[in-house]
Amino acid sequence: MIDEPAIRVRGLRKSYGHVRAVQDVSFDVAEGEILGILGPNGSGKTTTVECLQGLRHADGGEISVLGLDPRHQVAELRRRIGSQLQDAALPEKLRVMEAVRLFASVGDGRADLGALLTDWGLGGKRDAAFGSLSGGQKQRLFIALALVNSPRLVFLDEMTTGLDPEARREAWRLITQLRQLGTTVVLVTHFLDEAERLCDRLVVIQAGRVVATGTPPELVAAHGGGITATFTGDVDHATLAALPGVTSVQLRGRAHEVQGSAAALLHLGHHLVDRGVVPEDLRVHQPTLEDAYFRLVGTDAAPAAADGRDGVPAERPGLARVGPCRARPVRP
């Protein structure tokens, strides 16, 4: 039997006047999964999660969150989810402990409020007014409020924006703990290291549409642009280009730059060792999530997104002009 996903979104649409913020967004979030939503500013991430939380009324599409429809069962939904919103505030004079008690009043009253505040570094701020907190403290309070009723599903919208590096690490640690408790988390973020570290799966949104979905390694493999090996030595480009998995061979100054899949790297190494070429200056660049992200949403997003051949990246336009010798892609 297939488990019902915690969240199921199909063809979500939402416009503000003439601005089409979300045009076509579909994804599933499995129970217990941490899903990251990535995308540039204004791509529709926040609108999407606000529709899921019933804070905005979607214009079209199907949404099911914990089996509920946020458009019609919003009160029931809100009791079961935790929300940390971007750009939210509390009354300036409300004290930290009062806020936590207020938000805990919706739950079953079993939450350990003191421990929650200590976890989020606010143990010494119980009696501080909201208005007197620093940006990072406010942010941590909002995360704590999202978790106060131990919800099964938590929405965190730019959770670590405004946190210092230490507090970010701590936030990551606490979110990892949530995963062990089986909590489902939807994390909207701008930080790729955060997404890579915390998320089981990622959805990349660009201009209101989903442009890629997958685990971080899947996205890197599909859109990261392959492995690049750079070295100097006496080699023949045509032979290198013929190696399995190699997609391009270029000359960069005196160095050879070979791009291709992981298999290409092994074949290249084998080939070089075979010929007695063992370059001391061999450098290998593994594609990162950042490479994949910028190829998906950056200025060269169009060729990357249009490229359907998995693992065979579109060549970077800027590099094509550098070296005089370009290899033809190898057909397996």
Partner 1 sequence: MTVLFALVMPVIFVIVLGSVFGDTPDPQGAVFGGVGGSTYYTPAYIALSAASVGLVILPTHLAGYRERGVLRRIRAGGLPVNAVLLGQIAVGLALSVVGGALVVLVAFLTTNPAGAEDAWGVVVAGVIGAIAFGLLGLALGVLLPTARAAQGAGILVWFLVFMLGGAGPPPEVLPDAMATAGDYTPLRPLIVAMQDPWFGNGWNWSRLAVLVGIGAASWAVAAYRLSRD
Among 19, 67, 105, 253, binds partner 1 (CB under 8 A): 105
Q: Give me 300's structure tokens.
A: 């060269």
Cβ proximity to partner 1, 81 vs 265, nearer residue? 81
d(CA 170, CA 149): 20
229-288 positions binding partner 1, by CB under 8 A: none
128-167 positions binding partner 1, by CB under 8 A: 142, 145
Which residue, among 81, 61, 85, 79, has the nearest Cα to 71 in the 3D structure?
61
In angstroms, give the least distance from the CB of 85 to partner 1. 6
Spatial CB neighbours of 247, under 8 Å, sequence gap ≥ 6: 226, 259, 260, 261, 264, 312, 313, 315, 327, 329, 330
The H or E element spanning position 256 is: strand 255-260
Cβ proximity to partner 1, 132 vs 286, nearer residue? 132
String marking each residue 68-87 x if it binds partner 1 according to CB under 8 A: -------x--xx---x-x-x
* Piece of the chain touching partner 1 by CB under 8 A; list 100-108, 171-179, 205-213, 280-288: 100-108
Examine residue 55 and tell whether it contacts partner 1 (CB under 8 A). Answer: yes
d(CA 202, CA 212): 8
String marking each residue 35-54 x if it binds partner 1 according to CB under 8 A: ------------------x-
Cβ proximity to partner 1, 29 vs 81, nearer residue? 81
- Supply φ then ψ for residue 232, to 5 degrees: -110, 160
Examine residue 89 and tell whether it contacts partner 1 (CB under 8 A). Answer: yes
| Dihedral, 136, 294, 248, 317 alpha carbons, nearest 10 | -130
Amino acid at position 47, single letter: T
Chain centroid to Cα 331, Å, comes to 33
Interhelix angle 289-297/216-223, rounded to 10 degrees, is: 60
Q: Are 191 and 157 in contact (CB under 8 A)?
A: no
In angstroms, give the least distance from the CB of 166 to partner 1. 26
Residues in contact with partner 1, counted by CB under 8 A, come to a total of 18
Examine residue 93 and tell whether it contacts partner 1 (CB under 8 A). Answer: no
In angstroms, give the least distance from the CB of 219 to partner 1. 30
Q: Give me 260's structure tokens.
A: 């291709």
In angstroms, give the least distance from the CB of 179 to partner 1. 22
* Piece of the chain touching partner 1 by CB under 8 A; list 101-109, 177-185, 256-264, 300-308: 101-109
Examine residue 108 and tell whether it contacts partner 1 (CB under 8 A). Answer: no
Cβ proximity to partner 1, 53 vs 189, nearer residue? 53
Q: Are 211 and 309 in contact (CB under 8 A)?
A: no
Examine residue 109 and tell whether it contacts partner 1 (CB under 8 A). Answer: no
Cβ proximity to partner 1, 130 vs 231, nearer residue? 130
Q: Are 25 and 59 in contact (CB under 8 A)?
A: no
Examine residue 19 and tell whether it contacts partner 1 (CB under 8 A). Answer: no
Residues that bind partner 1 (CB under 8 A): 53, 55, 75, 78-79, 83, 85, 87-91, 102-103, 105-106, 142, 145
